[in-house]
Amino acid sequence: MSPQPPPAAFRAAAIVSLLLAAAGCSVFKSNVEAQTVVDQRVIGMSVGDFFDRYGAAKTRHVEPDGTTEYGWISAIGATPNSGYYGLDDRTCTLRVLATKNGRISLATILQDMPGRTTTSRCGEIFKAP
């Protein structure tokens, strides 16, 4: 007895799932332009100035060598007609490394949602004023 092919509805659901997964992955894609904007704005800045200006870190971990790694997510604010329950879910998530003297040496984009007017929320937050 030969195996039966999956029903058309099952195949269609599988294709839709794959397309949605691929679309979701685009949020995590490497955006060289946005990373350049972030680097130009924050590398060398003191972590205190960074957090005063852009908001507090969500996580903090001190490494044995004295450097500190922070997890930072941009603020989520109330905006009519966006996201769940009226929250603006357009966020930027960074991994920030600071030297022993408190200067940012690396700021890597981990997640970059579409922005309000561009395809990069990180690019919008860190662009020059």
The pLDDT score that the predictor gives to residue 31 is 84
pTM of the model: 0.68
Burial grade of 70 (CB within 10 A; 0-12, 13-18, 19 or more): buried
112 neighbors 37 (Cβ within 8 angstroms): no
Amino acid sitting at position 58: K
Q: Is the pLDDT of residue 126 over 80?
A: yes
Q: How many domains does the chain have?
A: 1
CATH of the domain at 60: 3.30.1450
The pLDDT score that the predictor gives to residue 22 is 42
Higher pLDDT, 13 or 97: 97
Residue 13 lies in a domain: no
The pLDDT score that the predictor gives to residue 110 is 96
- Apex 48 CA angle, 103 and 77, nearest 5: 125
- Apex 100 CA angle, 95 and 46, nearest 5: 65
- Tens digit of each residue's pLDDT (9 = 90 or more) over 29-84: 568 999 999 999 999 999 999 999 999 999 999 999 999 999 999 987 655 555 55
Instruction: Kindly report the average pLDDT of the chain as a whole number.
Output: 80
* Residue 51 structural domain: 30-126
Nearest Cα to 125, choosing from 75, 82, 78, 79?
A: 75
27 token code pair:
């949020």
